């Protein structure tokens, strides 16, 4: 694991979260959700890099959560319980929809 890479992921994730908050205040809902999805993706990759020394090259929050659940089993509920999985699926869809869909 590269300490520099881990810290860069963490800083970028935090920046996406700040941007999401600003966009919410401005009423830019679709872009706010996109930034929130990016935050989630990067913070999970950061946590995996710290915990395991690597992270899978994927954009799937669900896959990242499953991978991290090997270290933190309580996270499995996020991908196994239907009501929580629904929110994760919508968050992942935000990544695609924000790129031009109305």
Give the percent of the chain with pLDDT over 70: 94
Render pLDDT for 50-85 as a digit per residue (tens, 0 to 9): 999 999 999 899 999 999 999 999 988 888 888 888
∠ at Cα 72 (15, 19), nearest 5°? 10
Packed helices 29-52 and 3-25: angle between N→C axes, nearest 10 degrees: 160
pTM over 0.85: yes
């Amino acid at each position: 694991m590269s300490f520099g890479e881990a810290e860069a992921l963490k800083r970028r994730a935090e920046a996406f979260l700040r941007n999401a908050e600003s966009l919410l205040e401005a009423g830019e809902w679709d872009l706010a959700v996109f930034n929130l999805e990016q935050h989630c993706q990067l913070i999970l990759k950061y946590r995996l890099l710290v915990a395991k020394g690597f992270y899978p090259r994927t954009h799937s929050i669900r896959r990242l959560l499953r991978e991290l659940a090997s270290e933190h089993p309580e996270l499995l509920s996020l991908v196994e319980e239907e009501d929580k999985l629904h929110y994760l699926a919508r968050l992942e869809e935000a990544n695609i929809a924000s790129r031009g869909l109305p």
